[in-house]
Structure 1
């Protein structure tokens, strides 16, 4: 039986719970992440993971999907059902189906083995930052019915977009959620992390690696000249700005 090990740093430091059956990898994770300002607890099984979660607060779970005798996807599903804490998956290079299923179950990101500790640290920090931003945002106002901007109308209940000519424009779930996020903060520069967090309030399946693609697709649908956008404007070094007035309908 393995014993959970915890390296303690100041209380305000994010607490990462790493779940992996490889003792050498657990040591590497503990040493590297602790050396870069995170508090780290390492365990070898889902049972030990649950014991840690029961007795102390955790800010992020780093979960290996291939634990001996355990279903990593089922552990990820149970984690998402019990809490809103961030989940980052550790997977093999040839486990694309598991990665996709993990994201669909609510995981926030994944890292494939073998991985660069530096890249892992950057991904963990990005996910933690995203959740910190989300915690400062107001909850979605369920009384809102629609947004109107530049002749367009986005219906939040039917999830439909109507053009100034009265035509219905089809949006993917990600496009709808990003447009709703932009409409809720007109004239305010938003970082990608903020857009990701605000999109979650609209039940989006939007990931950091695809947000620029979603913005590009949105521009093609609502801009007169997508190559020179006037509504969704890029803010270099920041993110995006929805540069138009927005009317909220209740």
Structure 2
């Protein structure tokens, strides 16, 4: 069965070019050219991934992203020429999974799309297994409930995006290990690390803002300068 992608891009030439390339790779692509149209298409079909431009008419990509995240955890790959949008798209309340800056090569775009679908399929299998095992992980005041995909701090629930959850789970599952940014990207995104630190930096900062009493002096995720990160000692 073909994986189905919702492609949301208002530039007709780019939209058609991307659709042509992904179709050649054996993917089914449904096109939308503005945010309102994309919402209607999404409501009436089932997709494996959304490929989203942020600069859209009628309903911009950021607002579209917020609406989708209220309904679904479908993988969303951002296409954007504005670096300033990255922080918003990956951050609190938005929850995009990854991004590729414009202009991009079709080879890299295809690789990112396939990797995102592969990760989603893999995580789905992991979550099914974890639901059967009913595990709970703890560190200090933090408790990760794998059954319900939830984080509690001193009994209070903290909302995390999917990527934030898996990053924190990685550290708490292996409390003595030090992870480089490349290793975090490889293990959480399950993709080759392209050397762009922005994605990791944004996720780490947002995660710390949610779980730390003082994000400027983190207790839970420690930085080892020039090396990477590790879980604090409790």
TM-score by length of 1: 0.59
Match of 1:232 in 2: none
Q: How does 1:7-46 map to 2 (within 5 A)?
A: 12-46=1-35
For 2:166 and 2:52, how far apart are their aligned partners in 1?
26
Match of 1:144 in 2: 136
Query: CA 1:176–1:41 in 2, change beyond 3 Å: closer, same or farther?
Result: closer
Q: Any idea what SS the aligned residue of 2:228 has?
A: helix
Query: CA 1:145–1:53 in 2, change beyond 3 Å: closer, same or farther?
Result: closer
Higher helix share: 2
Match of 2:115 in 1: 126
Alpha-carbon RMSD across the aligned residues, in angstroms, is: 3.7
Query: CA 1:42–1:177 in 2, change beyond 3 Å: closer, same or farther?
Result: same
Out of 58, 63, 85, the residue aligned to residue 98 of structure 1 is 85
For 1:106 and 1:175, how far apart are their aligned partners in 2?
14
> Which has the greater radius of gyration?
1
CA apart distance, 1:63: 0.9
For 1:173 and 1:58, how far apart are their aligned partners in 2?
23
Deviations 1:84-138 (A, max 9, x none): 101111111xx22211100111001111111101100111111111111110013
Match of 2:61 in 1: 72
For 2:39 and 2:231, how far apart are their aligned partners in 1?
46
Q: Any idea what SS the aligned residue of 2:69 has?
A: helix
CA apart distance, 1:29: 1.0
For 1:85 and 1:208, how far apart are their aligned partners in 2?
22
Deviations 1:43-67 (A, max 9, x none): 1011221222122111111111001
Q: Any idea what SS the aligned residue of 1:82 has?
A: coil
Structure 2 gap segments, 5+ residues each: 144-151, 155-163, 176-182, 191-198, 205-221
CA apart distance, 1:192: 6.5
Are positions 1:180 and 2:169 aligned together?
Answer: no
Contact kept? 2:89, 2:95, Cα under 8 Å:
yes
